[in-house]
């Protein structure tokens, strides 16, 4: 996440699908290294029915335009964002579904992948999809199978069902850049070392559906 801000002028909803909407966020408070630009994507908190928490979620949206400055409804400074929302399952483009004061998070879509570079070695690379960047080496050299993921459900069992993933095991296998002398054998060989960690999925519900 690159930015966190709060709506001071919520969008006017109720239009058709596939249409852009405009909303304004406050300049203060605002958290992040920089203001929004058109390469960002955002997540907007969706209140839906205020009488229940079961439909609360985040609406993903692509930024189409940023107007800076643009005043809030109360006259304080803000940034007006024009976005193309994606109405995910259980959300509806109806009036009042996104309320004043709702948090809005800005982010970039980043890809991490194992790839073989022109030198013949394998690396863990990073690519900023939002900004149109190219794949850049981040860690390496690594083994040809040097990046592995294992997906676990809330009970700690391995799962292949995306909606049941509660945590992810990450294994990175580093490899020497060239063969080295061996301690207990003749000749030289590549040596590897393994680092493993496990992370919980952000915003993953761990206590069942909210009531």
CA distance 86 to 17: 8
CA distance 145 to 119: 17
pTM: 0.69
pLDDT at 115: 95
Given the structure tokens 């809030």, which residue do they identify? Answer: 72
Domains and CATH numbers, the chain: 3-107 (2.40.30), 110-200 (no CATH)
Q: pLDDT in tens for each of the 211 residues of the chain?
A: 689 999 999 999 987 666 899 999 999 999 998 899 888 999 999 998 888 888 999 999 999 999 988 999 999 999 999 999 999 888 888 999 999 999 999 998 889 999 999 999 999 999 988 767 788 999 999 999 999 999 999 999 999 998 899 999 999 999 999 999 988 888 899 999 999 999 998 766 554 444 4
pLDDT at 211: 46
């Amino acid at each position: 996440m690159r930015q966190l801000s709060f709506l001071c002028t919520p969008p006017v909803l109720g239009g058709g699908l596939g249409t852009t909407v405009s909303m304004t966020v406050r300049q203060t408070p605002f958290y992040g290294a920089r203001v929004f630009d058109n390469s960002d994507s955002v997540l907007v908190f969706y209140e839906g029915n205020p009488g229940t928490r079961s439909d609360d979620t985040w609406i993903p949206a692509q930024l189409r335009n940023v107007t800076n400055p643009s005043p809030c409804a109360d006259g304080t400074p803000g940034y007006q964002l024009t976005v193309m929302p994606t109405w995910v399952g259980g959300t509806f483009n109806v009036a009042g579904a996104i309320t004043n004061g709702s948090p809005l998070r800005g982010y970039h879509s980043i890809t991490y992948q194992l790839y073989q570079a022109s030198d013949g070695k394998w690396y863990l690379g990073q690519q900023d999809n939002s900004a149109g960047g190219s794949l850049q080496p981040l860690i390496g050299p690594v083994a040809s199978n040097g990046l592995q993921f294992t997906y676990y459900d809330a009970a700690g069992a391995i799962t292949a069902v995306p909606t049941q993933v509660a945590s992810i095991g990450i294994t990175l296998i580093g490899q020497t850049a060239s063969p080295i002398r061996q301690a207990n054998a003749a000749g030289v060989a590549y040596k590897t070392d393994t680092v493993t960690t496990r992370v919980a999925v952000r915003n993953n519900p761990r206590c069942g559906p909210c009531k």
